């Protein structure tokens, strides 16, 4: 494959993984329940994604940086919803 094809594979992979937690967020919002959600899992992903951002900055790779910043924003939203709805659970 050529460089454009590999870049496309990376961009598609980044998009899929960046938005991977969105279905969980939608379920949390719809049901107003976080009963089956692990805050440790969310925090572990926040830590990992944050390190990926640092790594992407080191490499100066915009795909890695942007994909993981999007993931981080989504995970922070998940944490916000977790603590918002935890009190009601």
Q: Higher confidence at residue 89 or residue 13?
A: 13
| CATH of residue 8 | 1.20.1280.290
CB 48 within 8 A of CB 18: no
CB 57 within 8 A of CB 4: no
Q: Higher confidence at residue 36 or residue 57?
A: 57
- Rounded to two decimals, the pTM is 0.84
For the segment 54-78, the average pLDDT, to the nearest whole number, is 94
Measured in whole angstroms, how far is the alpha carbon of residue 13 from the centre of its chain?
Answer: 13
Q: Higher confidence at residue 35 or residue 51?
A: 51
pLDDT band per the 50, 70, 90 thresholds, residue 88: low
For the segment 53-73, the average pLDDT, to the nearest whole number, is 94
């Amino acid at each position: 494959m050529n460089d454009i094809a590999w870049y496309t594979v990376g961009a598609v992979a980044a998009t899929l993984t960046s938005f991977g937690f969105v279905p969980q967020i939608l379920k949390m919002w719809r049901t107003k329940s976080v009963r089956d959600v692990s805050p440790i899992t969310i925090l572990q992903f926040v830590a990992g994604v944050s390190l990926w951002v640092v790594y992407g900055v080191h490499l100066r790779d915009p795909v890695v940086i942007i994909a993981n910043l999007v993931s981080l924003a989504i995970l922070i939203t998940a944490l916000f919803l977790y603590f918002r709805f935890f009190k009601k659970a």
